[in-house]
Amino acid sequence: MELNYRTFKGVGDLNEDSYIINKEMSIFGVADGVSSLIPFKSRENLTGGYMASHEVKNYLQSITTYTSLFEDITNVNRNLQKKMREYEIDILEKEKLWGTALAIVRVSDFGIEFVQTGDCMILAVYQNDEVRPLTRLQVAHLEELAFSKWKEYINRGIKTREDLMKKVKDILISNRRKSNTPMGYGVLNGEPQAINFLEHGKINNIGLKHLILITDGMFLPAEHVPEEVSYWDYTAKCILDKGIEQYARDLIALEETDPECLKYIRFKKSDDKTGMVLTFNN
């Protein structure tokens, strides 16, 4: 098996993404930290999102025995709650919680076990070039309203990202309050109910050629994908044709052409980007 991975910091002070590599346990993954909506920095000047994604990284990279990804992520979730309590975070106020989206796989001789939450994606690519998304964007239905308002205010003449963010802030707060509820999305944020919203399973590895794991910062703008082509087919082809690093650099260059987020609707000019490609030689 070949492994290629890369991470790039976005516009924030810290890269809140992390990648996970535990070759002894054959565990690989990406995590996208989610900071609280209430500003927070640790004693080490770290954001909650950074701490959350690295809690996943540190835990999974340190284990030397294996039971299941579901159990491991359950343990990480407990650790996150414990850490937030140490910082006297009120875990009943969702706006104050840290969290992380994630996409993790464990490779064995007979298949691929996976676990996911939030909007990190896992794409399986087969020998016949079929692209099979193992996961879905859990936040898409909530972001749709914010993106619609964003476009509406652009049409009304607002031309800066800062002013547009002010217009959708209430929607973003409302969306955060829906985390780990049936009306919202799953995110690993220390809430006991977060475990109920994990997606997890196993596929066999017959005909499997690649696994692609990406955080949402690696998503192409929908406007940049040809209408006649499946979004994930196109994304997978671009990543495999260019390689993770060149793909990410091209995406960053595209974002630089639209710094105020007017052409390609998004909440920040450039998000943290992490991608990983596992290639199976048989």
Per-residue pLDDT of the chain (282 residues; tens, 9 = 90+): 999 999 999 999 999 999 999 999 999 999 999 999 998 999 999 999 999 999 999 999 999 999 999 999 999 999 999 999 999 999 899 999 999 999 999 999 989 999 999 999 999 999 999 999 999 999 999 999 999 999 999 999 999 999 999 999 999 999 999 999 999 999 999 999 999 999 999 999 999 999 999 999 999 999 999 999 999 999 999 999 999 999 999 999 999 999 999 999 999 999 999 999 999 986
DSSP 3-state of 110: coil
Q: State which amino acid sits at residue 82.
A: K
Question: Left if phi > 0, otherwise alpha if psi is -120 to 50, otherwise beta: which for 17?
Answer: beta
Element (H, E) at 28: strand 27-34
DSSP 3-state of 15: coil
The C-alpha atoms of residue 80 and residue 48 are separated, in whole angstroms, by 10
Domain ranges of the chain: 2-277
What pTM does this model have? 0.96
Q: Directed axis angle between helix 231-242 and helix 244-256, to 10°?
A: 110
The C-alpha atoms of residue 195 and residue 202 are separated, in whole angstroms, by 17
| Class of residue 109 by CB neighbours under 10 A (exposed 0-12, middle 13-18, buried 19+) | exposed
Q: For residue 217, give the nearest of 253, 167, 268 by alpha carbon.
A: 268
N-terminal to C-terminal alpha carbon distance within the chain: 8
2-277 maps to which CATH number?
A: 3.60.40.10
CA distances from 33 to 55, 164, 251 (A): 10, 23, 20
